[in-house]
Structure formats: C-alpha cells, structure tokens
C-alpha cells in the first residue's frame, strides 16, 4: 500500500484504519483446559504449599537453560532479592545497573546494603552500554545486572568482557526473555545467577512466580537460605543450621502458580513463534516507513515480551505526541512505554534508597540528568500491542494507520 492509497488520517476526518477489535488478538495469558486440569490436580492433591509440580517446574527450567540448579520463587522480585543475597554482598558494595528497566531489576539489592550505580543503555538493543559500564567500575564494584529489555538479548560479549576484566559477577534478569537465545545459548544461562519473572503478563506466566538459576553450588545454597525453609532443611552442608530461621523472608512459589507455569512453559516456543511472526510481519512494514523496530540482530534470536519501536521525530517530521494522538484516532492501541527511568524517580533523587540500604557511607547523588543518552532514546520509544494472536488483517490495519499518518506528516504538523 502506498501513500496515495492510504487515504486521509482519521484525525483529519478520514476513515479509521483499525476497524477490527484487537481484544482477542491481544488476549494474554492464554489459559486453556490444560491449565485448568493442572490447577485442579493440585487442588485434588490437597497440599497447597508443597506439591511435586514445583520441582517439575524447576527441572524444566534447569534443563531448558542447561543449568545445574533452579529454585522457584513466589515472584520475580523475590527471585531477584535471592540472587542479590546469593552474591554475598557487603554494605556499600556497588552494582552496575541499567536505569531503563523495571524497578525490580534493581531495588531488591538495597535490602542487602548494596548500592545501585546507574549506567547508560545503548539505543540498538536497549541493554547496558558496556563502554559506559566500564567507566563506572570502582574498587567497590562487585557485579552488574544485565536485563534483556523487552525480550532483546543484551550485548553479552562486551558486557562479559567487562565483567571478566574487573572480576564482577553477572546477574542476568531474563524476566522479559523466556525462549530468547544469544549465540544459541538460552537467556537464563548467561549469568552467574539468572532470574525469570513468571508474572501474568510474561511470556511463560504463572500468575505470580519467579525462577532463579545458577551453576554455582554456593550461590544456590545462599539463595535457599534466604527464605526457603523446606529446602534449607534438606541441605547436607553446615547451612542446615539455618533451618530454624531462614534469613528472614519467605520466598517459595505456591504450587497453584507452579502448575500454571509448568503448562505455560510447554507452550512457550510455539506461542513465541506466533508472536514473533506477527510482530516481524508488521515490523518490516514499519521499517519501510522509517521506524526502527528492533528486529533480531544476526547473533541473537529475540522474543517480544512487549513490542517497542523507536520513532525519530527529527527524521520523520511529526512530533511524537501528535503521532500518538493521530494513531489513537485511527483506533491503534499505541502508548509511551510503561517503565519510567529509575535514576529519575523520587525514590532515588530524594534519598529514600539510602535509608533502606543503610551503608553507613554518604549515599550517591542520583541526578535526573545523569544519563543523557538513555534519556534521549527512551523519549523516542512507542509501545504497540504484542499481537500474540493477531490476524494479518489486523496487522495490515496497523501498518495502514502509520502510513496514512506519516504520509500526511506535514498537514498534521500544522493541524
């Protein structure tokens, strides 16, 4: 379809491009009789706290990712806390983190006394920028948190090289990247310790749940000691002495959630394939219009927790706010991405983070203008639906909406 055929934008009085109802096309999670049977199975078993399905889920993740250990958690945030705790951090230890991520990639570390040091993300894959990360290494730096944001594997070769040079641990937050691979290695196998969230919107949802993976016996043991009473009691090491207390929190998954996660994981690859095919189909059309859609680079197979595109108003001539209004008028569900940059949040800029971490040293100054490159590219991002079950017709309608609007950029800019 070319601009001539695309017609007048709806915001200028033309017909809406998107006439199909997107609710079925975007329904997620996909729950079927198989999930219902798995939940019923747990209910009929009768033990709602401990059920074999938890270990089955852990085994599936362990095998999928080729890891030695897997430990299921009540959510991804708890799994992140366990991962930080596993690293045996001292108060004041610094961890290099992205600002462009969900807060749970970062904030749980504060309960161990560690200090987040925010780094720039790079605009092509949206993950940590290895050059900027290395610049921020100090004698107190112990680890980095690598996030595969929106399902795009980060630049692991460069980041691992920095980690190796400075003897840093890599904590991989793979919460957006179930089923993605980097150089044929699954996400979830790329960190000293790796975490998945299984929250309801994720690609392999449990409702609420999280998975921690590692090959390191000592890290696994510490993760257990944080808050899994039953597993501590099973240890055959001196850590068994903590069976009467844990380290003060409780982290295990509910088997009802594990049962759903177990079924969902079985369908992960086939459902990722549909979502990927739909988004790639639309991406090719949007790329032709000048948007950057973050298609998989050659060395990775990405997945799409969410579908973000980069729109550069300098190149395309229409302010991004006007584009959003015009897309809404066309019937498109397009919005700003939903994570605010963490380093700009009052929790950090007003000093609350330091009150939790209590390092005894002056808190770092978190300045809202500290990451200009991350800020610049984040301001150009738009979130589209993830189209887990969309028809080609609906995807074509979205493409027409963008095409109509961008081919009338001049008129719309004046409107």
User: Under the rule (CB under 6 A), what is the footprint of ligand PLP?
Assistant: 75-77, 80, 101-102, 104-105, 147, 173, 175-176, 197, 199, 210
Report the distance separating Cα 353 and Cα 39, nearest Å.
39
CA distances from 194 to 59, 69, 130, 368 (A): 15, 10, 19, 29
| Shortest reach from residue 87's CB to ligand PLP, in Å | 16
* Nearer CB in complex with ligand PLP: 194/407: 194
Secondary structure element (H or E) that encloses residue 289, with its range: none
| Shortest reach from residue 225's CB to ligand PLP, in Å | 20
**How does strand 115-119 pair with strand 94-98?**
parallel
User: Any idea what DSSP says for residue 263?
Assistant: H
* Nearer CB in complex with ligand PLP: 102/155: 102
| Shortest reach from residue 101's CB to ligand PLP, in Å | 5
| Shortest reach from residue 109's CB to ligand PLP, in Å | 12
| Shortest reach from residue 197's CB to ligand PLP, in Å | 3
R_g of the chain, CA atoms, integer Å: 23
For residue 335, give both structure tokens.
Answer: 């919005």
Report the distance separating Cα 16 and Cα 8, nearest Å.
9
Report the distance separating Cα 125 and Cα 297, nearest Å.
9
* Nearer CB in complex with ligand PLP: 197/374: 197
Residue number, nearest CB to ligand PLP: 76
| Shortest reach from residue 147's CB to ligand PLP, in Å | 5
**How does strand 69-73 pair with strand 193-197?**
unpaired
* Nearer CB in complex with ligand PLP: 198/390: 198
| Shortest reach from residue 208's CB to ligand PLP, in Å | 6
For residue 368, give both structure tokens.
Answer: 């809202």
* Nearer CB in complex with ligand PLP: 127/385: 127
| Shortest reach from residue 206's CB to ligand PLP, in Å | 9
* Nearer CB in complex with ligand PLP: 101/264: 101
| Shortest reach from residue 80's CB to ligand PLP, in Å | 6
* Nearer CB in complex with ligand PLP: 176/408: 176
Three-class DSSP labels, 40-105: HHHHHHCCCCCCHHHHHHHHHHHHHHCCCEEEEECCHHHHHHHHHHHCCCCCCCEEEEECCCCHHH
* Nearer CB in complex with ligand PLP: 338/414: 338
Q: Which long-range contacts (CB under 8 A, 24 or more apart) does 324-329 make?
A: 324/382, 325/11, 326/9, 326/10, 326/11, 326/405, 326/412, 327/401, 327/402, 327/405, 329/9, 329/10, 329/11, 329/16
Decide if 17 contacts 400 (C-beta within 8 A).
yes
End-to-end Cα distance, the chain:
24
* Nearer CB in complex with ligand PLP: 22/108: 108
* Nearer CB in complex with ligand PLP: 209/388: 209
Spell out the residues 6+ positions from residue 316 whose beta carbon is closer than 8 angstroms to its own: 289, 290, 291, 406, 409
Comparing C-alpha atoms, which of 67, 104, 54, 270 is closest to residue 188? 67
| Shortest reach from residue 83's CB to ligand PLP, in Å | 10
Phi, psi (rounded to 5 degrees) for 264: -60, -35
Q: Which long-range contacts (CB under 8 A, 24 or more apart) does 241-248 make?
A: 247/85
């Amino acid at each position: 379809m070319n601009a001539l055929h695309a017609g007048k934008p709806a915001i200028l009085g033309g017909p809406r491009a998107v006439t199909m109802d997107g609710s079925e096309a975007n329904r997620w999670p996909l729950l079927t009789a198989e999930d219902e049977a798995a939940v019923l199975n747990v209910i009929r078993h009768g033990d709602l706290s401990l059920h074999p399905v938890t270990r089955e889920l852990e085994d599936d993740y362990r095998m999928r990712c080729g890891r030695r250990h897997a430990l299921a958690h009540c959510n991804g945030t708890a799994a992140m806390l366990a991962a930080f705790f596993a690293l045996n951090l001292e108060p004041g230890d610094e961890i290099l983190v992205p600002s462009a991520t969900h807060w749970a990639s970062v904030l749980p570390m504060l309960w161990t006394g560690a200090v987040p040091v925010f780094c720039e993300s790079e605009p092509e894959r949206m993950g940590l920028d290895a050059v900027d990360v290395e610049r921020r290494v100090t004698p107190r730096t112990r680890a980095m948190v690598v996030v595969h944001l929106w399902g795009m594997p980060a630049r692991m070769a460069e980041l691992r090289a920095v980690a190796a040079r400075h003897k840093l641990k890599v904590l991989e937050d793979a919460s957006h990247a179930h089923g993605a691979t980097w150089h044929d290695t699954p996400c979830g196998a790329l960190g000293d310790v790796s975490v998945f969230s299984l929250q309801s919107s994720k690609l392999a949802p449990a409702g609420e749940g999280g998975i921690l993976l590692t090959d390191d016996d000592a890290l696994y043991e510490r993760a257990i000691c944080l808050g899994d009473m039953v597993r501590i009691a099973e240890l055959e090491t001196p850590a068994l002495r903590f069976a009467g207390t844990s380290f003060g929190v409780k982290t295990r998954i509910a088997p009802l959630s594990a049962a759903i996660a177990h079924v969902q994981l079985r369908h992960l690859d086939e459902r990722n394939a549909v979502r990927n095919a739909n988004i790639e189909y639309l991406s090719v059309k949007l790329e032709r219009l000048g948007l950057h859609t973050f298609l998989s680079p050659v060395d990775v197979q990405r997945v799409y927790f969410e579908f973000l595109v980069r729109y550069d108003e300098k190149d395309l001539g229409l302010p991004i706010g006007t584009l959003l209004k015009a897309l809404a008028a066309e019937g498109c569900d397009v919005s700003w991405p939903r994570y605010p940059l963490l380093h700009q949040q009052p929790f950090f800029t007003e000093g609350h983070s330091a009150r939790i971490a209590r390092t005894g040293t002056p808190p770092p100054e978190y300045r809202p203008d500290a990451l200009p490159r991350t800020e610049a590219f984040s301001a150009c991002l738009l979130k589209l639906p993830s189209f887990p079950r969309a028809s080609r017709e609906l995807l074509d309608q979205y493409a027409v909406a963008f095409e109509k609007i961008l081919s009338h950029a001049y008129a719309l800019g004046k409107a």
